[in-house]
Amino acid sequence: MSAAPIRVLVIDDEPPIRKLLRMGLTTQGYEVLEASNGKIALEKLTEEPALIILDLGLPDIGGHELLRTIRARNEAVPIVVLSSRGDEAGKVQALDLGADDYLTKPFGMDELLARLRAALRHQLQVQGERPVFRSGDLSVDLVRRIVKVGEREVKLSPKEYDLLRVLVQHAGKVLTHRFLLRELWDELTDAQYLRVYVRQLRQKIEADPERPQYVLTETGIGYRLRAGD
């Protein structure tokens, strides 16, 4: 018996975008639900989508308000936000409200599918966290606190390890500067502290720290750890 298709709720008021997403997702085996506004989207939540694609520019309910409402009803469902180019403040706010990722319009279907897969992997990892994380040559043993690149063990300071641990726990998800500062320090600190530790971590785990393969920068927003293979 084949597995049931993954149900995706597409919330977007533009018919051409919904058509594009419906065609692209169904050809990949997804089941697509559609909502042209926030009111319909909230009604569709009763059909228990496994993924949500949310456009922030809706006609009736503000995208951020809708995101907050969805998160209050379902803490776990992965949400990928669609936003306009250059709206960094809107992206940051959406991520801080619980979105898992974002895409800037216009976007490619291959990129969207990759982001959806990463969001699903992150959800599964949170639900049943693996003791050893692997991505390429990088491995992080969260039980024994051992970090390796290939066969080489990497020695990290306590704060560097804490930063990597948070990134691993949310691998594939964009983490905002504000979120990381809250997780790593008791109170909000200058983001320069975070940049220093990211730079130090990259010096130890990246083959070329200037062209990182693991700890990726989301310009103006935060950082993302490349999801496991």
Q: Is pLDDT larger for residue 186 or for residue 83? A: 83
Instruction: Determine the CATH number of domain 132-225.
Output: 1.10.10.10
Residue 126: pLDDT band with limits 50, 70, 90 = low
Residue 180's φ and ψ, nearest 5 degrees, are -65, -40
Where do the domains of the chain lie?
7-127, 132-225
pLDDT in tens, 2-21: 456 889 999 999 999 999 99
Whole-structure pTM value: 0.72
User: Which pLDDT score, from 0 to 100, does residue 85 have?
Assistant: 65
User: Which pLDDT score, from 0 to 100, does residue 210 have?
Assistant: 94
Residue entry with tokens 């109170």: 187
Residues 5-24 as b or e (16 or more Cβ within 10 Å = b) = ebbbbbbbeeeebbebbbeb
CATH 3.40.50.2300 fits 7-127, yes or no: yes
Residue 1: pLDDT band with limits 50, 70, 90 = very low
User: Which pLDDT score, from 0 to 100, does residue 125 have?
Assistant: 61
User: Which pLDDT score, from 0 to 100, does residue 44 have?
Assistant: 94
Strand, helix or coil at 58? coil
Over the chain, what is the mean pLDDT?
Answer: 88
Quick check: 118 pLDDT over 90? no
Q: Which of 30, 15, 151, 127 is nearest to 77 (CA)?
A: 127
